[in-house]
Amino acid sequence: MSPSKLRSSLADEIQSFIDLRRLSGTDYQSQAQLLGYFDRFLFEQKISAPPLTREITDGYLLALSHLAPRSRSNRFCVVRQLCQYLARNDPCGYVPEPLRVIPSQGAHSPYIYTPSQIQALLVVASNLPPANSLRPHTYQTLLGLLYSTGLRIGEALALNQEDFQEAEQRLYIAQGKFRKARWVPLSPSTSRALQQYLHKRSMIKPCSPDSPLFLNQRSCRLTHCTVNQTFRYLFKQCGICHSKLTGPRIHDLRHYAEFRTMPSHFAGHLLMRLLTRSDSA
């Protein structure tokens, strides 16, 4: 998050805190975004000067009341960390108490897609406009990859072309959860589907090994925002009820291991059939 996006009276202090956390070795990207929401709250409330007070943090917590418990906790946690940082140099600074631990029943319950829903999503994705573009192949391959491997959406969007090792049928995740790298094995059908996608992808620049695997329509790396908007469209086209609070979410695609009865190569086989159909059309 750049300083130009922070507009409140605490913009400089928030940016300094973000920079300090990044020096510890973490990219702090998601937390920086959450602090951006707090900065917008301060700006819109016309809070003109530090220090942060209990009235301010209580007001922000009240403004988060529409969110799910886990989301509310995450947003308030980074604000509390910011307060602790500011209090080091300001004895009058207020540090709110941490929120109570969210009970398991308050957490987001995963949505378990049925095989027919996955099939419908893949079919609709294969017909995304514009015609004769990479976009439908990108989304049906991305969706099938998430479903068949259990990748997190952030991990999939961060993939470069060189991260797919065709001979070994595996993907290299450079920075997974807790910044840990790992190899992800692929089923033969998923690997073949990814090979066919890469063949189409190689016709579009940038096409160097370190270029993004999944591109948007401007030939740049796909972003979470764009993907979420497209998936909401896919849900609507398939008749799957969707809510920002209750889901289903893209993240729910990775919960196949515990709940899904269809083997993991299902999405890969379906992708191969769709790709073969589109190639022969």
Largest distance between two CA atoms of the chain: 71
For residue 211, pLDDT beyond 60: yes
In whole numbers, what is the pLDDT of the chain averaged over residues? 84
Task: Summarize the confidence of residues 209-233 as an average pLDDT.
Answer: 92
Task: Summarize the confidence of residues 237-241 as an average pLDDT.
Answer: 90
For residue 275, pLDDT beyond 70: no
- The structure's pTM equals 0.61
For residue 227, pLDDT beyond 80: yes
| Amino acid in the structure at residue 229 | Q
Q: What percent of the chain has pLDDT over 90?
A: 51
Q: For the segment 98-123, what is each residue's pLDDT rounded down to a tens digit?
A: 887 655 555 567 788 888 898 899 99
